[in-house]
Structure 1
Amino acid sequence: MNDRLLLARTFARARHEGQRYGEFPYHVHLDDVERLAQPFGMNAMIIAQLHDVLEDTTTSVDEIVHDFGELIALSVSYVTDPIASDRATRKKQLNSRLQSLDENDDAAKLALIVKACDRLANVKTCRLFSPDKFVMYQSEHAEFRKAAYRHGICEMVWWELDMLIEVGDKLARF
């Protein structure tokens, strides 16, 4: 295993210590996102481990820059939810940021990939364990896709995400 990825896993586990992802330790979600990001390279896997550390912990961007470099820190900051009083406002602001990203920029492209992997991991988990959250993701999908999808980037992630959103509730019955 790559030393930087091991450092990212260790860093994320320490920062998210005690946090839960539903009934699971938080690192289960981070590992799910990392597995989905694996085809896109080591930097995508590292960002996957760190993608929630700014919004869910007291970690600063400077700490990420120090340990992982500017590219990783910038990507993580791109996928971090803005501070707002309610989910709808946070998601609207995040979608605006994602929509403005230039996929020709390495940090932006990695952020778009990891954000799609994160959403797919969330949808897969919610479809199985939290039907109410699954419905929420279904209702947000069109705006999220409009903001984060770029033709030719992680098409298989988007295909699976679209299929789960469109027919996931029907598939769950079989």
Structure 2
Amino acid sequence: MNNRYLKARTLARAKHTGQMYGDVPYYIHLDAVSRLASPFGTDAMIVAQLHDVLEDTETTIDELVADFGFLVADAVSYMTDDKLENRQARKDHINLRLATLDTVEEAARIALIVKACDRLANVRASLYSNHHYYQLYQEEHHVFKQSVYRKGLCEAIWWELDNLLRYSEAS
């Protein structure tokens, strides 16, 4: 494994210590997102490990820049929900930000890929364990896809995501 990736995984595990993803340690989710991002390169895997570190810990953007450079820090920043109390307000705000990203910029391209991988990991996990979140992802899917999807970018991720959520519509 790449040393930068191992550094990101180690940092993410340390920063998310004590946090849970349902009934399992948070790093289980980070590893799932990273596996989904692996076809898109090491930087995508690094961003996958770090994608919630600004949102859910006391980590700063300056720390990410110092440890991983501007590309990774910018990508993580693009994906980070603002600390608004209402889920709908948070999602509206981040969807507006993601909708403006241009894949010509590498950090934006990686952020959009990892955001789709994150959603797929969440949908997979909630499919069998948390029907409430599964229904939320289904309800949010149209707006989420309008904001994050870019033709030709991680089509296999979107294919599975669309199919899992379509399956839920039939349930």
Give the TM interval when normalised to the shorter protein: over 0.9
Could you say which residue in structure 1 is the equivalent of 2:96? 96
**Pairwise mapping of residues 3-82 of structure 1 onto structure 2 (< 5 A)?**
3-82=3-82
In structure 1, runs of 5+ residues without a counterpart are: none
Q: Within 5 A, what are the aligned runs for 1:117-128?
A: 117-128=117-128
Q: Is the 8 A contact 1:127 1:169 kept in 2?
A: no
Q: Alpha-carbon deviation of 1:3?
A: 0.2
- 2:142 partner letter: A
Distance 1:132 1:26 in 2: 19
Return the TM-score normalized by structure 2. 0.98
Deviation at 1:129, TM superposition (A): 0.5
CA separation in 2, counterparts of 1:25 and 1:85?
Answer: 24
User: Given that residues 82 and 93 in structure 1 are in contact (C-alpha distance below 8 angstroms), is that contact kept between their aligned partners in structure 2?
Assistant: yes
Contact 2:48 2:114 in 1 (8 A): yes
Structure 2 gaps, min length 5: none
SS in 2 for 1:153: coil
Distance 1:120 1:170 in 2: 18
Q: Cα RMSD over matched residues?
A: 0.9
Q: Once the two structures are aligned, what percentage of the paired residues are identical?
A: 54
For residues 11 and 41 of structure 1, the distance between their equivalents in structure 2, rounded to whole angstroms, comes to 19
Q: Give the Cα separation in 2 of the matches to 1:133 and 1:112.
A: 21
Deviations 1:24-73 (A, max 9, x none): 00000000000000000000000000000000000000000000000000
Amino acid paired to 2:155 = E
Deviations 1:109-153 (A, max 9, x none): 000000000000000000110011100100000000000000000
TM-score normalised according to structure 1 size: 0.96
Partner AA of 2:66 in structure 1: H
Matched, 1:143 2:143: yes
- 1:170 Cα deviation (Å)? 4.8
Aligned equivalents of 1:27 and 1:168: distance in 2?
27
Q: How far has the Cα of 1:168 moved from its partner?
A: 3.7
Deviating above 4 A after TM superposition, structure 1's stretches of 4 or more consecutive aligned residues are: none
